[in-house]
A = this chain, B = another copy of it.
Amino acid sequence: MTQPVRTAPTLAEVAAAAGVSRSTASRALNDSPRISEETKKRVRAAAKEVNFVPNARGRALAVGRTEIIAVLVTEPLSELFSDPTYSEFLSGITEELSESSYLPVILQASSTHERNRAREHFERRSFDAVIDVSPYKGSELLEVLRELGVPTVLCGQLEGHPYRDVFSTVYSDDEEGGHFAALAMKDRGRKDIVAVLGPQDNPAVVDRLRGYRAVLGEDLPDANVIYTGWNSGDGYQAMHQILAREIAFDGVLCGSDRIAAGVITALNEAGLSVPADVSVVGFDDHEIATRCVPALTTVRQPLREEGHMAANIALDMIKGAEPTTTVMHMQLVQRDSL
Interface residues of A (CB under 8 A from B): 1-3, 5-6, 8, 53-61, 64, 66, 68, 77-78, 80-82, 84, 86-88, 90-91, 94, 98, 103-108, 113-114, 117, 120-121, 123-126, 146-149, 165-166
Contact between B3 and A146, CB atoms less than 8 A apart: yes
Contact between A55 and B91, CB atoms less than 8 A apart: no
Query: Measured between C-beta atoms, what is the minimum distance from A158 to chain B in Å?
Result: 17
Contact between B53 and A123, CB atoms less than 8 A apart: yes
Query: Measured between C-beta atoms, what is the minimum distance from A133 to chain B in Å?
Result: 14
A6 CA / B150 CA spacing, docked (Å): 11
Contact between A58 and B56, CB atoms less than 8 A apart: no
| 24 A-B residue pairings within 8 Å (CB atoms) | A3-B149, A8-B148, A54-B124, A55-B124, A55-B125, A56-B66, A56-B121, A56-B125, A57-B61, A57-B64, A57-B125, A58-B61, A60-B60, A60-B61, A61-B61, A68-B68, A68-B105, A77-B90, A77-B94, A78-B88, A81-B87, A98-B114, A103-B105, A106-B106
A304 CA / B16 CA spacing, docked (Å): 49
Top 10 closest pairs, chain A to chain B, by CB: A5-B149, A53-B123, A56-B124, A81-B81, A56-B126, A81-B87, A57-B60, A57-B61, A61-B61, A77-B91
A148 CA / B66 CA spacing, docked (Å): 21
A148 CA / B3 CA spacing, docked (Å): 10
A107 CA / B98 CA spacing, docked (Å): 10
